[in-house]
Every structure is written in structure tokens, then in C-alpha cells.
Structure 1
Amino acid sequence: MNETLDAPPTPWTLPVAWQRLRACARRLPWRLVALWLALRLGLSLWAALISQFRPLTPIEQRLALWPPAAPWSAWLERVLLAPWQRWDVPYYLAIVERGYRRDDGTAQFHPLLAWLAAPLTWLGLSPLLALLLVSSAATLALLIVLERLARLDLPPERARLAPLLLLAFPPAFVLFAPYTESLWLLWAVLCLWWARRRRWWLAGLAGGLATLTRQQGLFLLLPLAWELWAASERRWRVALARWRSWLALAPIPLAMLLWLVYRALALGDLRADWSSPQALIYSVLISPSASKVVPQQAFVPPWMALAHALARLAHAPLDIGTDLALGLFFLLLTALAWPCLRGGDRWLVAALVLVSFSYYTGPFYPYMGLPRHLLLAVPVFIGLAARLKPQRVARVLLPGLAGLLWLTMLYVLEAWVP
């Protein structure tokens, strides 16, 4: 008889728990934790400094940044939280505070970020702090899992570059704002990671959670299906024999269906308009109330959206120029990374880039949010890690840090829409 099998399980005592906790701590990549903490604090202090030049929220207008003033909780809120309350953040705050409404534009925002933040408010935290904690924790987890995903294809010294390159892309400042990008990217990377390890149902669940975070989660069907096909030796007979594995795709569309059912039953916000493809997309997949957030928006061929942006460039050089410069720069990065991407990752990146460049947001600011949407194409940064020599990383990180500070400043001043 095998003594190992017959041995009783180790009792869960306090010393054993402490040993296991220490073992987990030793496995943490502390350099990523330190980098995340430095950026979290540094960008918050930078945002606070910039906010004094354009205080937009009531607490910013009421309290000075310096010197500190009692009550201290209010002053800390003014310094660390209020500068992040810009652009889309009031919509997330409204969802956390009072839930969705049909007529105020909140229905176009998927619910998972607010659902995760709401329990923290029950503990007494402010809604803005709760949102910021969720997005910040998701960013830390994202950096760790992204490096683990990169290690499946790259040696450790190159895999360590992937999260650094992600943070060096200037729109990555939004990962430290109370936005959905960090949470979506965490689920997306987990979906890719579990798919590579052939943990199909965990990958499908992560894809479903990504879909509950942002509409782009639906595109995770592409890399997950590609990995399933590769695991089936690219043969239909093998794929049919393993049909149970293919059911792992189901959580992704089911998550979208769950959200649509909620919008239909709880909000009365779902009325399919079959008059045109655009009307159908906005009445079903997004929300008829999306015009409350961006008055004019549509999906058009990317060359048409690009032509509109170029035509308006002279009228809004800061806003449109920033979007175009970062968008074209990301296309260059994608071209450099493309030879090193897996087949499924190529499908995901192509879909996200195509949709991002096709999203037209009106005649005045045609490419609103373009760099932030491109940030979701995270496999590009793994491909870049395979191409970039580790000794050259400093040449990338320093300009990237400058870009993070620059875009954070524009965001806090509301001089540019992320």
C-alpha cells in the first residue's frame, strides 16, 4: 500500500497556514508589486498636483491642495480620489450609488466593475474609492498574470518585459483610473492563459467575465476557438469527439445574453431596431441611451473614420492629434509584434484594432477613446517582448513614463478624452 496515499492530510493549523502564506509571498514577483505601487502613488500625486490648475469637482473647489486641512478624511479624498473623477467616471459612480437607469446613459456601461465595487461601499467606503480599489487591484493582478502568460512562449528575461511594455504605452495610465480597462484586461489575459493550459472551462468563464466588463469580451471567442481547434489537431473528427471541450465557449455569449436580459427586464432598454445594421447594434449590443454619453457615434469603415479625423485635425490638434499619433504608433507596434503572435492572438488583435479604428464618435472628435480601446489588444505587448532586446528596455520605459504623465495631465484637466 502506498504510504503517501494513506497518509492523513496535513491539518490546517495556524503555523501551517502561516507557512503557506509565506510560500505564496515568496512566489510573488515583488518587482512588479513595487512598480505597481510606485505608479499608483506617483500618478495619484501627479493628478492631485495638476488638479489645482482646474478643480472640477465640488471638493476640489472647496479644499485647497496645500496646506493640509481638517477634516483629514476630506482632504485625503480631495488629494487622492477627486482628481480621478473625470469623463466616464460619474457614470460608474451613478451605477454604484443608485443602479442603472434607462434614460441617463448608464445602460451602455457593462456592470461588472460596478458590481465588484458595490460591496465595498457596504463596508463604508466611498463609491469612488471602491471603484479605484477594484481597478487598481485588477491592474496588479494583470501585470502578474501577463508575465506568466508571456513565459509560455518566451524565456524569463524576455517575459518580464511584457508587463513593462504594457505600462510604457502612454494610454496605460487609464489602468490606474476608475475605468474598466484593467478589469477587462485581467479577464482577457486569464482567458488566454487558461486556454493555453487547456483549462477550457476556466478560460470560458474568464471570457464571460470579460464580456460582463466590456462588450469587447465577445472577441475572446476567437482565440479560445483557435486554441480549441489547435488542441484538436486541426481535424474535424477529433474536434467532434471532444465536443464537451467546445462547450467552454458558451459562457462568453451567455454572459452577453445575461446582460441583455437584465437590460430588457429591469430597464426596458432593449428594443431591437432592424432598420439598419447601425440601429440594430446600438439598440441591442450597446444601448439606445448611448447618445446621452456620446451624442453622435457609429461604426463605419476605418478609412472613413480616419478621413474624418484627418479633416478635423487642424481644428482640434491637441485632442485629435493625440488620438491619431497614438493610434498610428500602435499600428506600428502591432506590425512589429505580428510575426511573434500566435494564430488566435492575431485574430483577437485584428478584431480589436479593426473595431477601434471603425468607431466614429462624431464630426468634432471623430476618434474619441481610440488609444484606450487599442490598449485592449494586449497580445501585442507579448509579441514586442519577443522582439525587443532586454538591454534596450530603458529606451522604451523613459519615454513611456513621460507619456503616462502627459496623458494623465490632459485627463485631469479634461483637455483630452481618453
Structure 2
Amino acid sequence: MPVSAPHRPAAAGRSRPAPPGRPALPRSRRALRAPRWLGPADREVLWLYLLTRVGLWTTAGAVGWLFPSDGESRRPPSLLAPWERWDWAFYLRIARDGYFPDATGPWTVGWDNREAFLPGFPLVLRAVHTVVPSWAASGALISFVAGGVAVLALARLARERLGHDDAGRRAAAFLLVSPCAVFLAAGYTESLFLALALPAWLAAQRRSWAAASVLTCLACSVRVTGLFLAAALTLHFLMTVRIRTAWRAAPWLLLPALPPLLHTWYLHAGTGDWQAWKHSQERGWYREFHLPWEAWSHTWTAAFGHTRPTGYAIMWQAELLAMVTGLVLLAVLARGRHWPEALYIALTLWALGTSYWYTSVPRSTLLWWPLWISLAGWSLHRRWVRGAYLYVASPLCTTVAITFLTGRWAG
């Protein structure tokens, strides 16, 4: 006959039993009721973040030695040189010279269409540069600090959504080793956007509408994706408001429209064109409207039609795969009735999927926080998911990092 284990008194620091008549909550949910500024779970996420930063910067240093711009060079480039690629040049020019230096603009031969880039990141870059002499170091510092804020917010979102302490670590890990994670360390907008968007969504989950709106407003100055976040925020507000007094917060939801309106006004003042942003996108990146199946067809031809060099063709193959991933994610969110997040993903896919061909869809996956939370939830129920993801994504992460750091197109 089995014998019951002797009763042991609760150890110091352990939670007390629930009062009579009130069911005890799981340990993870009790912890969520009284979060600390940086609890043990947060510190583990930051440690993971620092380790992945070391890995990426080690890769950048190795790339500088292995793939110098001059094959006969006896000295490696600076550690920051491999990061100064592609879109970084636009942010640097805007931060240093403004949008229309010396009366140049779209009417100038060889114009770079810099007005396609929103001012949020260049403004922060210029501000940091007043303290940090190197422009490249300023960009790297912005992304480093913003990335830390972003992974903390993502981890907290995952823990609150899934009610499990390990969910935050998993969501952060899935993001930090995702194929395009190199852009979280580069002087690009992804980290800064996430550092604003994820705390905004976390505030919205806690019904702090003023804070959510202010953060979303700032996110709208960094990437146009902020408008999609604002739409999701509005839908979330409409779905969760229950009492009449809560409607007093509704005017805050108009705040995110301010940055796009101001940017449009500024560009009109410089160009005389109310659609200057749209036209610059069309001139520089073929972002004129096409039906979704036309965009898919053009991208498919570029990827598999043997009409492009292989280095570009494989990136268009990645664009197709990322679009399919987004569509699957959208279906999962709709099935789970996560309508605000589904709206955010749907608007993102519509914007990316209605150009001449797909551009930067893999990079945009970094901004799909429901993807990383969904993967974390799936891995909690299926143990093999985390291992399978890490074994496949890690080599891809390194491949894309080397591609970007050597100056090749990486989306």
C-alpha cells in the first residue's frame, strides 16, 4: 500500500497557499501579477541577447578578415566597416545632410530618392552622434540598446499571452536566431521600431491607452509599419472597451497619425508634391501598385526563371518563402481569433505583396511579433519544435549575416 510523503513546511520565499475558496494559480501566472522591473526571467533574456550580439559581432570581425574589399590587403578593415551597407547610406545622408541638401531633390539628375525613408531613425542617429563621434558606432549603439528593449518587451508579451515563464525565453531566442536577425544589429530601423512597437502593444494589453498611443506615434516616425500597428491598436481598443468611461481614452488613438501627416507636409514643402513619399518609393524600389497575383508572378520569375544572377535569385526565393510564412501566420491568428494581430499582419502582407515584386519581406518577419510568440507556444506543446527551429534557422542566420556583411543583397 503506498505511503503518503510526510508534510514539509513551506520554504522561505515560496508562495503561500491560496485562501479558502480561491483556486491557486500556476506559479508562472502568480509571477505575472507582480512583475518586477528586471526579474530573473528578464535577466536570462538579456543574457541571451548579449550572447547573440557577441556572435554577430564576431562574425562581422571574421568577415572583415576573410573577405576584404581588396584581396591583397594586409590590414583588415575596421570592425564597423562591414555594417555600413545598403540602407545605412540613406540614413546617414539624411542624418548628416537632411532631405534636400543644397537645393537638390527629385528634380536632380542621379537623385537617390532618400525621401522614401522616414525621419525617426535619422533624427535619433543625429542626436546620438552629438555624443558619439563615429556615425557607424552611433547607428550600432542605437540598435544595440533598442534591441535589448525589444527582446525584453517581446519576452513579457509572450509570458503574458502564454502564461508560462519559459515562453519569453523561447520567443526571444526564436527572434534572435531568425534568418534575418543580422538587421537587428545593423544601423537599420528594425530594432528601434520594435523597441517602440512592442512596449506599445504591451501597454495596450494592460489597457494603458495613452502610453500605447504615444509609443505607436513614435513608431510611426520610424517605419510606415507603425500605421499598421496603429490600426491594430484601434481594433484592440474597440474589442476590449467595456465601460463608458473607457471611451475617454479614444482621442489618444488619433496621435499616431501625426508623424505621417507632418512628414507629408514637410516633403510637400520641399518638392511641391503631396505624394512625394509614394513617388520616391516607385522610382527607387518599383513599389507601384500591382495585383497580388501579379506581384507573386514577377517574384517567381525573378526567383526561378533564370533571368537573374543566382545571388539575387536566391533572395527572391527567400521573399516567396517569407510571404508564404506570413500567410500561414495570418491563418493561424484568424483561427485563434486574435483579430488585432491578424489585422497587423494582413496590412503588412498587403503592403509588401502588392508591389511589382516582393522586396524586404524576410526582413519584415522580424517585426511579426505574433510569429515568435506563436512559435514559442507551439514549442511548449511540442518539444521537437525548438530543436528543429534552432538547427535550421541558426545556419540560415549565419548565411544571411555573411551575405549582408560582405556587401551582397540580403533583402
TM-score by length of 1: 0.78
Matches within 5 A, 1:37-116: 37-52=50-65, 54-56=67-69, 64-65=75-76, 78-101=77-100, 102-103=105-106, 104-116=112-124
- Contact 2:64/2:79, CA 8 A, preserved across alignment: no
Q: 1:395 maps to which residue?
A: 388
CA-atom RMSD, angstroms? 2.6
1:302 to 292, 295, 304: 292
- Residue of structure 2 equivalent to 1:416: 409
Given that 2:288 and 2:355 are in contact with CA atoms closer than 8 Å, whether structure 1 keeps it comes out as yes
Q: 1:371 aligns with which of 350, 362, 365?
A: 362
How many Å apart are 1:379 and its aligned residue? 1.6
Using the TM superposition, give the Cα deviation of residue 376 of structure 1 relative to its aligned residue in structure 2, in angstroms: 2.0
Q: How does 1:310-389 map to 2 (within 5 A)?
A: 310-313=300-303, 314-316=306-308, 317-336=313-332, 339-340=335-336, 342-360=338-356, 366-389=357-380
Cα distance change, pair 61–213 in 1 and its aligned pair in 2 (3 A) = farther
Equivalent residue, structure 2, for 1:206: 215
CA shift at 1:160, angstroms? 2.7
Structure 1 residue corresponding to 2:255, chosen from 251, 259, 265 = 251
Aligned 1:198-277 pairs, distance under 5 A: 198-233=207-242, 242-265=246-269, 268-272=270-274
Q: How is 1:91-240 mapped onto 2 (pairs within 5 angstroms)?
A: 91-101=90-100, 102-103=105-106, 104-154=112-162, 155-233=164-242
Q: Distance in 2 between matches of 1:374 and 1:359?
A: 17
CA distance in 2, matches of 1:269, 1:290: 15
- Offset of 1:161 from its aligned partner? 1.7
Distance, in Å, in 2 between the alignment partners of 1:127 and 1:120 is 9
Is 2:196–2:215's contact at 8 Å kept on the other side of the alignment?
yes
Q: What secondary structure does 1:35 align onto?
A: helix
What whole-Å deviation, never above 9, does each CA across 1:318-370 have from its counterpart, x for those lacking one? 2322322333344445545654462211111111122222233xxxxx32312
* Residue-by-residue CA offset, 1:210-252 (whole Å, 9 max, x unaligned): 100011111122221122112324xxxx56x644211111111
Q: CA deviation at 1:87?
A: 0.9
Instruction: Deviation per CA, 1:13-70: give whole Å up to 9, x if none.
Output: xxxxxxxxxx8565672222222222222212212322445545x9x997722xxxxx
State which drifts further: 330-339 or 128-137.
Answer: 330-339
Q: CA deviation at 1:383?
A: 2.1
1:278 — aligned with what?
none
Tell me, in whole angstroms, the C-alpha distance in 2 between the residues paired with 1:185 and 1:297.
24
Q: Write the letter of the residue equivalent to 1:43.
A: L
* Paired amino acid for 2:307: H
SS in 2 for 1:213: coil
1:30 maps to which of 22, 43, 65: 43
Q: Which amino acid is the alignment partner of residue 185 of structure 2? A: F
Unpaired runs of at least 5, structure 2: 1-35, 107-111
Deviations 1:256-281 (A, max 9, x none): 1122223233xx13513xxxxxxxxx
Structure 1 359/138 Cα, relative in aligned 2: closer, same or farther at 3 Å? farther
CA deviation string 1:168-192 (max 9, x = no partner): 3212221111110111122211221
**C-alpha displacement at 1:305, in angstroms?**
0.5
Percent identity among equivalent residues? Answer: 26
Q: Distance in 2 between matches of 1:126 and 1:215?
A: 27
Residues of 2 paired with 1:291 and 1:332: CA distance? 28
Give the aligned residue type for 1:174: F
User: Structure 1 residues 183 and 376 mapped into 2: Cα distance closer, same or farther (>3 Å)?
Assistant: same
The question of whether the paired residues in 2 share the 8 Å contact of 1:208 and 1:255 is answered with: yes
Whole-Å Cα distance in 1 between the matches of residues 93 and 141 of structure 2?
17
1:92-147 Cα distance to aligned partner (Å, 9 max, x none): 11122222223432211111112112122112421111111111211111000111
For 1:138 and 1:61, the matched residues in 2 are separated by 37
Matched position secondary structure for 1:375: helix
Letter in 2 for 1:166: L
AA partner of residue 176 (structure 2): L
CA distance in 2, matches of 1:115, 1:355: 25
Q: TM-score, normalised by structure 2?
A: 0.79
Structure 1, unpaired ranges of 5+: 1-22, 66-77, 273-282, 361-365
What one-letter code is carried by the residue in structure 1 that aligns with 2:392?
Answer: P
Secondary structure in 1 matching 2:398:
helix
